[in-house]
Structure 1
Amino acid sequence: MNTRRTRHTAILLKNGKVLVAGGSDRHSCVFSSELYDSKTGNWTSTGNMSINRCEHTMSALTNGKVLVAGGDTSFVEIYDPTLGIWTTIERMHTTRLGHTASTLADGKLLVAGGETDSAEIYDPLTGNWTVTDRMHRQRYQHIAAVLTNGKVLVAGGSEVDYEGITNSCELYDSSAKMWTTTREMSHRRMQHTALVLANGKVLVTGGYDDTRKYLKSAELYDPLTETWTTTGNMSFPRAEHTASLLRNGKVLVSGGLAKNLIRYSTELYDVATGIWTVGNNMNHVRTFHTATELENGDVLVAGGSEGDKSAELYVSPKKTLATINKINNLSNGYKAPVTKKVLNKDGHNNTIGSNKYS
């Protein structure tokens, strides 16, 4: 990338490019944004946001534009991929940091928490924010997942910073405009991940608990019974990691933090067996990075680790050959482009256009 970033956001645009915005460059939060073109493997700068942002949210709207909200502010702006510019819109009612944003079935956006128990909804048709029912507790660095029944599951998080870490969960019903409590997770967690699987269940992994312990446990939420069941543990404890659902149905987990150790390891979860297997290591350690699935099923991992510029691809295991711009470290420090790498059955990580040569 052109800028060092951690605690940033990334999203796949309708044109196939990936938009990355904000984050910390190791010294402060930034307002810059850039685009990754998977066809060329190159990064290009695009319009700047109006303010610096970290721990904000990024959401795709039905019209192809992208909405960014919060980041220790109530300011909101929209990115137009056609024009390459950001436009500020009506502010949220509450300043938010480490919150969640979920796209509802009707195209509206539910924003919840962020060192508060409040929630509000953005309507793209009117451009207005409306305050909705409050959650049952204050949440920060929690997760939110849109279930197949249209409800939104919110789980875990802390009240502020690392205080008040919880295992409590609740559901938002957009038709009733209400939050209701549901079963608690087995572990208190913050900085964890959540993915909706093809079978409709939600897989939650890792995180940091109230005993100052990094977790390797994972559990599944079943919307039909509203219950949690434990599943196989990851090989390594991790928080501030990413989780991606691959085209073959497996889940890829990458990077993260455990005590003073920033990880470059990855693991794959087999939904059918509930077992984790260790995958190929990334080329860089990463925490608070982003992982974005591309149109071809590959996963673009970018930034993290105290504001790293580098990015790399996890190539989909469905393909046996990939032609991408790979960068290898040679003994003299020079990095040479390589193409056509044969992949193993679990895919392969390839460093791409990092603009980092030291």
Structure 2
Amino acid sequence: MGLPPLENVTWLLLRVTGEGIHPPIERVAPVDLRPEDVPAVPPGPGRVLEARGYTDEPFFSGQVVSVGRSAPFEMPAEGGPAEPVRVVLRRVETWVPLEDAQRPGECLHLTEPRAGHTATLLKDGRVLLAGGFQVDGSGNAETLASLEILDPGGRTLSFLPGAGGGAARRAFHTATLTPGGGVLLAGGEVSQAGVAVPLRSAGVWDPVTEEVQGFELAWARSRHGAAMDSGGRVLLAGGVGEAGALVPEPEGVDPQALRGFSVPQALPRLGASVSAVQEGQRVAVIGGSDGTALVPEVLTFAFDGATFVPEATGARLRQPRRNAALAPFAGQRLLVVGGYGSPEAPEINGNALPMSEVIDWSAAVPRVSEGPSFVARGDVCAEALSAGRVFVAGGRRQDPASFKLVSSGLVEQVIPTASETSAVLGQPPLASARYLHTCTPLPDGSVLVTGGLDDSLGSPVIQESALIYMPVPRD
């Protein structure tokens, strides 16, 4: 379980942040905290109480070794918050498995090991894990239909073996949080007699009933990308369709109406990256392969009242790539991380890339510039942290002896600097290498990593772990 959060902690720095609180309200107190040591919280919405554990007095020789933050809460003008404010301290710069609240001292494991699944942060701070696959004793993939709800703060896991008529076995699908708090599960594939069969099915998981309401898409697609615009509409782009052919065009989805709608634009892509940009006014489709060549163009789609309409931005990647990761990066910039520099399947010609690119959306024409360098790999996860930082973990790298792609446990963090390229800091690696995993930023500033596939030692092993990493604060 690692060191307890208060191990070697002698002092606490308590901070209150929120709307209109500049600078943060801070108070230093001994570790044996008393109620009167907690600073007064001004009335207003979005208040956050943070605690940092130090080995000695903060601002002198003390080193921060643990951090915890509450969920945002509203402080009324009179009385206290509507619910108790909870702060969970976590050790910094170390991978810690979640402890099972019902079995103190034991680790919390996924009920079913899974890879190729999705993990979606819900509005109440819980995380919905959906689908994926595991490997049987003969090495064959078994597609999962189950859902699991992980509560990182409460340290509990709820297993949902079936979620109503809209649930389906699916892996390599997309999951998108809807404005109403549900989760849109779209497409994916199921393994049948060793053959991957793309799915036309989609559904919206309801957090109240914990069931999925299903509907059909126009196109069967798997291994695609998805992003939601500011109006709550989702664009599905790229992917593999029936008979292994690339899906020829995107499709829009209205999750509230439980229906898809046509997007008549030729866009066969595999390994393209999809993200909302410009505060959700547009959805960008970046890179990918058209089956024969890598596509450098950066294309955006905007909703015109009836469907998503493509817009040529004129922007092009400096290094065309597929299977890259995207993360918001310091303002209206988007960081494009890693991927593969060949249009073929990575297993045929991996060519993992070490460089990244930055797309600046603040101008009328997006500007593409060189980004920081990473250890070469593709299929990484990249997630935005506070203060413009980006967390990058796992993926696949080329083995120096065999040149084959193998899973990686490397972890890096991008720190914005005065220069355009910024700085990349190596972080403690994952104990088990993995790709096809998930990374989820949590409200307290930590990152949750679940599942994934480890083939670094030969035979594939599907992970069942749920790990937490808390970066060191930079403010």
Fold in common (TM above 0.5): yes
CA distance in 2, matches of 1:101, 1:47: 25
Q: Deviations over 1:228-286 (max 9, x none)?
A: 1112211x111111011112321110011012331111111112241211111122211
Which of these residues, 350, 366, 370, is aligned with residue 230 of structure 1?
370
Residue 278 of structure 2: aligned partner:
148
Check conservation: 1:221, 1:227, Cα contact below 8 A: yes
Structure number with larger C-alpha Rg? 2
Which of these residues, 124, 127, 133, is aligned with residue 15 of structure 1?
124
Q: Is 1:269 aligned to 2:398, yes or no?
A: no
Note the C-alpha offset of 1:138: 0.8
Q: Is 1:100 aligned to 2:209, yes or no?
A: no
CA distance in 2, matches of 1:251, 1:95: 33
Residue 64 of structure 1: aligned partner:
181
Aligned residue pair count? 315
Residue 29 of structure 1: aligned partner:
143
CA distance in 2, matches of 1:117, 1:226: 26
Q: Is 1:169 aligned to 2:298, yes or no?
A: yes
Which of these residues, 374, 380, 388, is aligned with residue 241 of structure 1?
380
Q: Is 1:252 aligned to 2:369, yes or no?
A: no
Q: TM-score, normalised by structure 2?
A: 0.63
Among the aligned pairs, what percent are the same residue?
25
Which of these residues, 337, 357, 366, is aligned with residue 205 of structure 1?
337
SS in 1 for 2:316: coil
Check conservation: 1:46, 1:85, Cα contact below 8 A: no
Which of these residues, 430, 438, 459, is aligned with residue 282 of structure 1?
430
CA distance in 2, matches of 1:196, 1:249: 8
Note the C-alpha offset of 1:52: 1.4
CA distance in 2, matches of 1:97, 1:35: 23
- Residue 198 and residue 232 in structure 1: after superposition, are their counterparts in 2 closer, same or farther (change >3 A)? closer
Residue 159 of structure 1: aligned partner:
290
Which of these residues, 448, 451, 455, is aligned with residue 303 of structure 1?
451
CA distance in 2, matches of 1:294, 1:117: 36
Note the C-alpha offset of 1:126: 2.8
Q: Deviations over 1:270-328 (max 9, x none)?
A: 1224121111112221101100111212110011124211121111423xxxxxxxxxx
Check conservation: 1:47, 1:85, Cα contact below 8 A: no
Amino acid at match of 2:371: T
Amino acid at match of 1:6: A
Amino acid at match of 1:101: A
Q: Is 1:53 aligned to 2:53, yes or no?
A: no
CA distance in 2, matches of 1:42, 1:216: 38
Amino acid at match of 1:93: A
Q: TM-score, normalised by structure 1?
A: 0.83
Amino acid at match of 2:283: V
Q: Is 1:2 aligned to 2:111, yes or no?
A: yes
SS in 2 for 1:91: strand
Amino acid at match of 2:158: T
Q: Which moved more, 1:250-259 or 1:211-220?
A: 211-220
Amino acid at match of 1:120: E
Q: Is 1:109 aligned to 2:109, yes or no?
A: no
Note the C-alpha offset of 1:47: 4.8
CA distance in 1, matches of 2:259, 2:380: 33
Q: Deviations over 1:132-167 (max 9, x none)?
A: 2314x311221111112511111111235xx53332
Check conservation: 2:228, 2:283, Cα contact below 8 A: no
Amino acid at match of 1:192: A
Q: Is 1:40 aligned to 2:165, yes or no?
A: no
Root mean square deviation of aligned Cα: 1.9
Note the C-alpha offset of 1:83: 1.8
Q: Deviations over 1:154-195 (max 9, x none)?
A: 1111235xx533323211122383213332211121111011
Which of these residues, 195, 219, 230, is aligned with residue 357 of structure 2?
219
Q: Is 1:77 aligned to 2:232, yes or no?
A: no
Amino acid at match of 1:239: G
Residue 139 of structure 1: aligned partner:
269
Check conservation: 2:296, 2:318, Cα contact below 8 A: yes
- Residue 262 and residue 126 in structure 1: after superposition, are their counterparts in 2 closer, same or farther (change >3 A)? closer
CA distance in 1, matches of 2:250, 2:406: 34
Stretches of structure 1 lacking an aligned partner (at least 5 in a row): 319-344, 347-358
Amino acid at match of 1:19: L
Note the C-alpha offset of 1:74: 0.9
CA distance in 1, matches of 2:170, 2:271: 15
Residue 122 of structure 1: aligned partner:
253
SS in 2 for 1:248: helix
CA distance in 1, matches of 2:255, 2:358: 32
Stretches of structure 2 lacking an aligned partner (at least 5 in a row): 1-109, 136-140, 189-197, 240-245, 343-348, 399-404, 454-460
